[in-house]
Structure 1
Amino acid sequence: MALNHIVLAACAAFAAGIWLAELTSWHLPLLIILVILLLITAARRIAGNSEQSFWSITGLFFMAGMLCYYQAVTIRSDDISQYADKTAVVEGTIDNVPEVIQLDEQKKLVRYILKAEKVKSEKAEQTVMVSGKLRVTIQYKRAKANPAALGDKVAVNGKVLNLHRYNNPGQIDLTAAPKRQGITARMNGQEESVRLLATSPNYSWQAALAKWRDGMITGLKKVMPANDAAILTAVLFGGYRGIDKSVITDFTATGLIHILSVSGAHIALVAGMIRWFGKRLRWGPVLTLSLAALVIILYACMSGLTPPVIRSALMGLISLLAVLLERDNYTPVALAGTALGMLIYQPLLLFDISFQLSFGATAGLVFLYQRTTGYLSQWPSWLAGPCAVTLAAQLGVMPVIAWYFNNFSLISFVANIVVLPVAEWVIILGLAGVIIYTVVPVVGSIVFVFCSLLIGFVMMLTSLLAAVPYSSVYIPSVGIAGSAIYYSLLAWMYGWRPFHLPGPGKMIKEWPYATAFTVMLLICVIIVYNCYPKPLTVHFIDVGQGDAILIVTPHGRTALVDTGGTMGDTDFDIGERVVVPYLKHYGVTGLDYLILTHGHQDHAGGAAGIAGSIRVAAVLLPQEEHSQAVQALLHTKPAVAVIPTYTGQKIRLDGVIIRIDQAVGEHTENGHAPRGNEVSSVIRVSYGEHSFLLTGDLEAQGEAALLAKNVAPCTVLKVGHHGSRTSTTEPFLQAVTPEFAVISAGYGNRFGHPHSETIQRLAARKIEIYRTDRQGAIVFCSDGKTMTVDTYIK
C-alpha cells in the first residue's frame, strides 16, 4: 500500500474518530479494550505482511481519535471550573503577556490568563489547591495603573464563571480556542479585584517579543493613518483590532479576508522571497532552504505562534523539506501528516473554523488544482492560473463556507487577479520594513510610507469590487449529509470512479436525454420541496442577556421580534455577528417585518446591524422617545419603512396572525407615559390551535394592564424581563395558562436572571421551562394542531 494512501487514511480515520466521539457517548473501558484488540490484530497482520493490515491500521487510528477526544475534554476533579458560579479568591501565576485594550484616555481593559494554583471560595474556611487556567478580564480606570506582567503571582477576587458562547447552529464557537489552551473558566472584575503577590524574577522572551512588537506598531502609527497602521499590523502580526469595519466587510465580500491574518499565503511569500534571493546569489539549495526554514520559524515567533500560524509554518517547513528531497509528489502526505500531528496534539482543533478552512483550502489546491487548470486550458494562462487557484481552494471548503457564512464571493476571482498581487507587495514591503526599522528606524519608516500608499490602493480596489452588484451569492447550509454528498460528487467530477461509474463528460455524450431528464427531475423536486408548505417555526435565538425571536411562516414569510444587543464598552454587534448568521443559516436572507417591543439596548441594540446586512421590508416601532439603538436603526442605508405600533394591530402571513396585544405609550399616569420595562409592547403569534405570547420586558404593572383587557390564554409564554422576580405574577400566569415558558437570559448575567421566585412560580404550575442560557437556541414547530420543540443543547 502506497505511503500516500496510508497517511491519508490514517488522518481521515483519526478525524472521523474525533467527530464521532463528539456526537456520541462511549464507555472508556470499552474503547480501551477495542484499541488493544485492534493493536494486536494490526501487529499480527503487519508481521505476516497481510494486505488486510491497512484496514486494521485505519481502524486503530479511528479508535485512537475517539480516545484522544475524550482525553482532551476530560476535566480534572481539582480544576478551577469546579468552582463555577461561586465567588472566590483565586491565586496563581500570569501565564500570558497581558492583552491591553485602551477604551479611552483613562480606562483600559486588560486580559490575563491565570494559571490557577489556590482557591478560597466565599463560604470556605481554608484554601484549596487547584489546577487549570482562568481567563481574567479587568477594567482599569486610572491611566497610570500598572497591570501585572507575565510570570507575576497574583490573587483575583470575583465570581468564577464557565466559558460560554452563543449557542446557535452555524455560530462560530468562541470558546474553542481558550479550551485548547487549557482555559476552563473566566472571571471579570475591576482594578481592585487584582492583588499583586510577587513579581516575576525571570527573563521572558515572550514579553520581550511583545514589547518589540508594540514598539513596531507604535512606529507604524507615527508614519501612517491609524486605519492603515491597523491593516498593516493585521497583515504582519494578525488580529483585526483598530481596522475600520467597512474595510473588513469589503475584504470579506471580495474573498480576501485571509490577507488580514498570518496564513499559508504569508509563509509561502516569505519562502518564495528567500528562494528568489538564493537563486540570484547562487547560495545553493541546502543553504537557501535552510535560511528559508529559519526565516519561517522567526516569522512564526514574531506573529505570536497562534495555532493558525503554527499550522502554516509547519506546512511551509514540510514543503521545503519535500523540495530539498526532490519529493514534490509527497505534498498530500505533508498535508495529511501535518493535520494528523496537530489533531493528535490538540484533537479539538477539528472543530476550529480556521483549521477547517485552511486545511480544506489547501486540500483543494493539492487535489483539484491540476485538473481545474486542465478544464480552463482554453483560457489565457494569465487568467487561467489565478482562477484555477481560487476555484480549487473554494471548492475544497464550500460546505464549511456555507455552514458558517452562507455566502460565496463571485468577485473573488477578479479580486485574486487584480488585488492580490498588490496585497502581496504590501506583505513583502511590510516584512522588509520591519527588518529595516529594527536596525535603521528612519529608513524603515520610509518603507512603511510606501506600504501605506499601497494599502490605500488596495482599499480602493476592494471597495470598488465589493460594490459591484451581485458580487456574492447566498448558499444554504447543507449539514453533514449534504457535505458528504457534495464531496462525493466533487470527487466523481474530478476523476473518482467507484464501481466503474462513467464520468460526467461520458454521461452527457452517451446518454444526453437521460442525463438532461435526471437533472430536470432533480430541479423540479427541489422547487416542489421549497414551495410545499412547512410548519410554522418560532425561534428563540440565544443572544445572551436580551431577546430575539424569529417567526417563519409555512411559505417562508418572516418576522423578527427584537434583536438583542450588548451592554457596556464593546464594539461587538449582536445583530451583525449573531442574529444575521442565524437567519442566514436557516435560509432567511430578508425580513418582511422587524418588530421592536421597546428601545432598550438588549432588545434593539442589534437592529441597525441587521438592517445594514439584510433586506428589511418594514419596521414596527413603539410610540416612545427613540433610544440610541433605534436612532441607529433609522439611520441605516438603505432606509427602512417605519410603521408605529398600536393595540389591536394585526399582520397576517400565510395563515399566521401576528397581533399587538398591548402597545407602548397607550396607558399613562397623570398624563405622562410610564418609563421602564412595563412599557414594553406585547405581541401574540397565533396559528391554528396554538399561540405564542411575547412579552418583551413586561413587568407586573404592564401585566395588570393586560389582565384588565382580558388577556387570552397562550400555549407558549416568552417570560417577561428575562425571568425577573418583578414579572410573571401569579394572576398573570393564572390568566394565560401556558404549557411552555421560554426565558431568554445571558449566562452568568450580573442581574441574577432568571430569579428563583419566577422559576418557582412556573414550576408550581408544572409549566415546561426552556432557557437560552442553558439550552441555547430554542425552536418550536407547529402545524396548527401539534407542537414540537427542539433545543440546540440537548
Structure 2
Amino acid sequence: MKRPLCLIAGGFVLGETAVLLALTSWLYLPALIAAGMIFYGCRRGRTPLWVFLPLIFFYLGAARADAENEKWRERDKTLDEISSCYTEVQGRISSIEEDEGETQLVLKHNRLRIFRSGRWKEVPYEASGLMVSLKKESGPSWKRLAIGQTVAVRGEIQLFSQARNPGEFNFKNYYKSRGLDFRLSAEEIEVTDPSRSLLLECLRGLKMRSKEILYRDASKEDAGIFAAAVLGDKMGISDEIKELYQKNGIAHLLAISGLHMSLIGLSFYKLVRKAGTGFWEAGLFSTVLLILYGLLTGASPSVIRAGIMMCAGFYAACLGRTYDLLSAASLALFLLGLHSPNLIMQGGVQLSFGAVFAIGGVGPLLSSWLGKEGVLARGFSACFAVQMIILPVTAFHFYQMPPYGLVLNLLVIPLMGGVLCSGLGVIAFGTLSPVCGTAAAGTGHYILSLYEILLKAAGKMPGNNLILGRPGIMVLAVYAVFLTGSMIFIGLLKKKAEKWLIPYWGKLLFLMGIYLLSILIFLPRPVKGLEAWFLDVGQGDGILLRTEGVCILVDGGSSSKKSLGEYTLAPCLKSLGISVIDYAFVSHGDLDHLSGVKYLLENNEDIRIGNLFLPYHGRKDESIQSLEVLARKRGTSVRYITGGDYMRMGALSISCLYPGKEETPADINGESQVLKMDYVNCHMLFTGDMGETEEQSLLGKKEGNYLGEVNVLKIAHHGSKYSSSEPFLDSVSPDWAVISYGQGNSYGHPHKEVLNRLRRRKVTVFQTGESGAVRLVTDGTRIGFSTFVDGNRKAGYNKR
C-alpha cells in the first residue's frame, strides 16, 4: 500500500522535527500537519488503524529525537569541562580526506583521556565521532594511515562553533547531524592497531586514482566539476564557479544526487539484464554496485536517499510489483530520520527530499493538467513542481532565490547526463591512455562551457537574484495555504477540462502567475518601529539599524574574524532581507571597524551601499582612502562628516556629536565618530573607540549634546578600562549598555573596572562575547532586548 507508508514515515519524521524545534514557535506546525494527516485519512474513509497510525509514529519519532538530544546534552556538558585540557583520543579511522596541506580523519568508537594534575585521567564518555586535523608537514606518518586502523591522537579539543548572529552557518548543528562531537588538532598520532579495512581502502585508492586521472586529462576547472559530479569531491571547484552555480539555482548539479545514482544504477541494471541475467541477479548486482558507489562518494544523505530508492526499485522489479516513488522516498526518509534525527534539519536533506516529493506528488498533477505527453511538458511540470516545493526551503536556509532558476534548470538538467558520462569516460579511457581521457573530456567541456554562458547571461538580467530573508512562521503558513489552494484549484480545472477549454499557452501563463505570486509572498516586509542588531563580530564593532524601509550600518569590522564580511555580515544582511544599506557609517580607520564594510564594497555584488559616511579627521588615513576609492567604483555616494552634522530619515535621526573640525584627535581611536541616534523616546549613543580624553572633550560641549536623555549606550573600545570613565557614565546615565568584543580576546576586554562601574550604576549590560548578537526592538516608547545564542529568549526585566 502506497500512502500508509508515506503517512507513517511522515508522522515519525514530524515527531522528530517537533522535538528538535521544541524551544521555538515551530512546535505546533508538525502537530498541525499530523492532525491534517488524520483528517485526510478520515475523509478518505480509511480504517481507524491507518488514520491514527501516523499520530502513533509522531510520538515515537518525538521519543526517538528526545533520546538523541539527551545524549547530545550530556556530551556537551562533558566537552565543556574538558575543552581546555590536553586530550588523548583512541579510535578507529572511518574516513580520510586529503586537502592541500592538511589531512582530515574521522574517528569512531572513541575513548578519551585528559591530562590533568600531572597525570592521565580516563573520561567516562564515548564520543560518537570526531574530526582530526593533521598537518602534512608535521611528518610522513600521515601517509601510513588507512581506514580501519586504530590510532591514538593527542592534541587540543576544538568545539564546533554555533551561529552567533542571524544568518550565520551553524557548524555545531551540521556536524552533530553527521555524528561528530568535536575537532581535534593533532599534535601527536600513533597507530595502535595497523589492521585496515581492505574494501574501504580499495575504494579510497580507486577514488584517489580516479581524481588524479581527471586532473591529468581534463582542464583544472572541468576536472573540479567532474570530480564533484562523479566522485563527490568538491575541493577542486573554484569559489567563482560555486558562487555562479549557487546564485543561479543549479548548485545541486555539483553534488551526487538521484540523477547521478539513477543514471549509473539503471544503466548497470539494464546492461546486466541484457547480458541474460534474471531480475534477482540483476537487482542484486545493481544494489551491490550502488552501495559501493555510495561508499566511494562519501555516503552523503542525498546519496543514501537515492541509493535506498533505487534498491527499492530493484526489489519491486524482482517481485513483479509496481514501484511507487513516494513510498520509496518515505522509506528513505524514515530510515535516515531513525539513524540521525538532526539530519532532518539540514537544508541539503530538505532540498533533496523536497524535490523527490515534488516530482512524485505535484508533478503528475501538473503534467496531466497540461495535457501534453511530450518530454517538454513533463520536464516543465517536474521543474515547476520542484521549484514551488523547495522555494520555502531555499528562502529559509539560503535567504535568496534566482527567479530564472526555473528556466535554467529546464535547460541544464537534461544535459547533465552528458557531463556525468564524460567524467566517467575520462576515468575509464584515461586509465588506458591520457589521449583517450582528454578526448572523453570534450563532451563535458562543451556542456560546461554552455552552462557558464547561460549562467553569466542570466546574471546580467534584471532581478537575477532576489534577497528574500529568512521567512517567519506566518509567511510559511500563508505560502502553504496558497500552494495547497493552487493545486486544489488546478485539480478542479482538470475535472472541468471539457467545460472550460483552456489553451496550452494559457495554462503555462497561469502557472507562471502562481510562480510570481509565490515570490511576492516571500518578499521582505518593512520593519515596524525600530530594530537594532548589535552583531557579534568578534573583536570589533557592527551595529545594524532598520526602520520604515531604511537600513543603516554603523561600523562593521573585526580583527579576530578574518572573513567577517563573507561568513557573518553578508549572511546576516541576507537573512534579514536586506539588499541595500542606505547609510553606512565608519567611525574610524581601524580594521576592527571597517573590514566587513570593505568586503561588501569590494567582493559582494548582492548587497549595495547607497551612502558611505567617513570620519573627517581620518580622511588622510590609508584605510579610509581605500574605502572611498572602492565606494566610488561601486557608485556609492561618499561624504566625510564631523561634529554638528545631522540627518533625518522619517522618525529616526542621527547626529554626529564629536569630533568637530576644530578638534585635534591624539590618535586614530580619537578620530572615532560619536553618533547619537534618536527614535521618539529611544536614544542610543555609539562611541567607537573613543578614550577618556575624548569623553572629557565631549562632556565639555554643552550645546546640542543631550547626553542625559541617552538610554542605550554602546560601550566604547570593547570595554577597555581607558574608556567609559566615571564622569562620562554619570553624565550619560544609560539604562542599558552593550559591549562588543571577541570571546577569549588577548586584550582582556571587557575589563572588570568597566563592568564594576556599570554595575554600581545598575546598568543592564549585554555582552556579545557571551550572548552573541543582541537585538533591540522599540516602538519609540517601550524598549525590549533579546540575545541570539540563547534562542532569542526575552528577559522580562528589560522592557519599559
> TM-score, normalising length from structure 1?
0.81
Quick one: which of 665, 685, 696 aligns to 2:688? 696
The structure-2 alpha-carbon separation of the partners of 1:584 and 1:709, relative to structure 1 and needing over 3 Å to count, comes to same
Tell me the CA shift for residue 408 of structure 1: 3.0
Matched to 2:427, the amino acid is V
Conserved in 1, the CA contact under 8 Å of 2:557 and 2:591?
A: yes
Give the gaps of 5 or more residues in structure 1. 27-49, 103-107, 511-518
Is the aligned partner of 1:586 residue 2:576? yes
Instruction: Give distance in 2, aligned partners of 1:745 and 1:13.
Output: 44
Partner secondary structure for residue 171 of structure 2: coil
From the superposition, tell whether residues 51 and 375 of structure 1 become closer, same or farther in structure 2 (CA, over 3 Å).
closer
Aligned partner of 2:674 among 666, 671, 682: 682
Instruction: Specify whether residues 587 and 81 from structure 1 end up closer, same or farther in structure 2 by C-alpha distance, changes over 3 A only.
Output: same
Task: Decide which of 342, 360, 364 is 1:366's aligned counterpart.
Answer: 360
Residue 368 of structure 1: how far off its partner (Å): 0.6
Residue from 373, 380, 386 that aligns with 1:387:
380
Amino acid corresponding to residue 366 of structure 2 in structure 1: T
Say whether the 8 Å CA contact 1:134–1:186 is kept in structure 2: yes
SS at match of 2:367: helix
1:255–1:409 Cα contact (<8 Å) kept? yes
Q: Shift in Å at residue 716 of structure 1? A: 1.8
Take 2:322 and 2:721, find their aligned partners in 1: how far apart are those partners? Answer: 68
| Equivalent in the alignment of 2:8 | 10
Change beyond 3 A, Cα 1:502–1:496: closer
Alignment correspondent of 2:244: 250
2-structure distance, mates of 1:249, 1:632:
26
CA shift in 2, pair 1:753/1:51, >3 Å:
farther
1:589, distance to aligned residue in structure 2 (A): 2.4
Matches of 2:727 and 2:235, distance apart in 1: 50
Specify whether residues 310 and 533 from structure 1 end up closer, same or farther in structure 2 by C-alpha distance, changes over 3 A only: closer
Q: Which runs of 5+ in 2 are unaligned?
A: 25-45, 501-512, 794-800
Over the matched positions of the two proteins, sequence identity in percent amounts to: 25
Q: Does 2:64 match 1:71?
A: no
- Per-residue deviation, residues 767-787 of structure 1 (Å, max 9, x unmatched): 222233443332211222211
In the alignment, which residue of structure 1 is the partner of 2:553? 560
Aligned residues: 733
Instruction: Report the equivalent of 2:256.
Output: 262
| Deviations 1:390-422 (CA, angstroms, capped at 9, x unpaired) | 111111122111212333323223323333333
**2:81 pairs with 1:88:** no
Cα–Cα, structure 1 residues 279 and 329, in superposed 2: closer, same or farther, change >3 Å? Answer: closer
2:317 counterpart of 1:342: no
Change in CA separation of 1:595 and 1:315 when aligned onto 2, cut-off 3 Å = farther
AA of the residue aligned to 1:397: I
User: What residue identity is the alignment partner of 1:131?
Assistant: E
C-alpha contact 1:84 1:162 (8 A) present in aligned 2: no
8 Å CA contact 2:95, 2:107 repeated in 1: no
Distance 1:314 1:469 in 2: 41
Q: Letter of the 1:593 partner, please give it.
A: Y
Q: Are the aligned partners of 2:161 and 2:170 in contact in 1 as well (CA < 8 Å)?
A: no
Q: CA deviation at 1:592?
A: 0.8
1:173 match: 170
**Given the alignment, which residue of 347, 351, 368 partners 1:353?**
347
Change (3 A) 1:381 1:54: closer
Per the TM alignment, residue 468 of structure 1 is displaced from its structure 2 partner at its CA by 2.4
Residues 239, 260 of structure 1: 8 Å contact kept: no
Please list the CA deviations of residues 248-289 of structure 1 after superposition, one character each: whole Å capped at 9, or x if unmatched: 222123321101111122112223433554576665654544
Matched, 1:434 2:427: yes
Over 3 Å counting, the alpha-carbon distance change for 1:252 and 1:784 in structure 2 is same
Deviations 1:408-456 (A, max 9, x none): 3232233233333333211121123224445656533442355344433
Which amino acid letter does the alignment assign opposite residue 744 of structure 1? Answer: S
Q: Is the 8 A contact 2:13 2:333 kept in 1?
A: no
Amino acid at match of 1:458: Y
Could you tell me how far apart the structure 1 residues matched to 2:202 and 2:313 are? 30
* Equivalent position SS for 2:729: helix
How far apart are the structure 2 equivalents of 1:483 and 1:333?
26
Aligned to 1:617: 610
Deviation at 1:180, TM superposition (A): 2.6
Alignment check: 8 A CA contact 2:540 2:592 kept: yes
- Aligned pairs for 1:404-443 within 5 A: 404-438=397-431, 443=436
Measure, in 2, the Cα distance between the counterparts of 1:428 and 1:226: 18
Give the match for residue 183 of structure 1. 180
Going from structure 1 to structure 2, the CA distance change for 1:213 and 1:780 (only over 3 Å counts) comes to same
**Cα distance change on mapping 1:25 and 1:374 into 2, 3 Å:** closer
- Decide which of 194, 202, 208 is 1:201's aligned counterpart: 194
Letter aligned with residue 335 of structure 1: A
Would you say the 8 A contact 2:161–2:172 is kept in 1? yes
> Which residue in the other structure is 1:131 paired with?
126
Residues 155/533 of structure 1: CA separation in 2 closer, same or farther (3 Å cut): closer
Cα distance in 2 for partners of 1:266, 1:434 equals 16
State the alpha-carbon separation in 2 of the partners of residues 574 and 236 from structure 1: 33
Partner of residue 207 from structure 2, selected from 207, 213, 219:
213
Report the CA distance between 1:709 and its aligned residue: 4.3
| Normalised TM-score (structure 2) | 0.81
1:301/1:718 CA distance change after superposition, 3 Å: same
Which amino acid letter does the alignment assign opposite residue 224 of structure 2? Answer: A
Q: Which residue of 1 aligns with 2:55?
A: 59
Is the Cα contact below 8 Å between 1:595 and 1:621 reproduced in 2? yes
Instruction: Tell me the CA shift for residue 366 of structure 1.
Output: 0.8
Q: CA deviation at 1:73?
A: 1.7
Cα distance in 2, alignment partners of residues 724 and 156 from structure 1: 37
Q: Which residue is 2:462 aligned to? A: 469
Paired letter, 1:409: P
State the Cα deviation string for residues 714-738 of structure 1 (Å, max 9, x = none).
2222233444455444444333322
Which residue pairs with 1:657 in the alignment? Answer: 653
Which amino acid is 1:21 matched to? V
- Tell me how far apart the structure 1 counterparts of residues 696 and 728 of structure 2 sit (CA, whole Å): 8
Q: Deviations over 1:628-668 (max 9, x none)?
A: 99559817964422222323332211121122333599855
Amino acid at match of 2:612: V
Q: Which residue of 2 aligns with 1:41?
A: none
> How far apart, in 1, do the equivalents of 2:624 and 2:495 lie?
59
Shift of 1:4: 3.0
Aligned-residue offset at 1:496? 8.6
CA contact (8 A) 2:107 2:130 kept: yes
CA contact (8 A) 1:562 1:595 kept: yes
Does 1:547 pair with 2:529? no
Q: Deviations over 1:479-502 (max 9, x none)?
A: 3343234223323332399xxx97
Could you tell me how far apart the structure 2 residues matched to 1:633 and 1:156 are? 49
Residue 312 of structure 1 and its aligned partner are, at CA, apart by 2.5
CA contact (8 A) 1:419 1:461 kept: no
Is 1:14–1:63's contact at 8 Å kept on the other side of the alignment? yes
1:685 Cα deviation after fit: 1.7
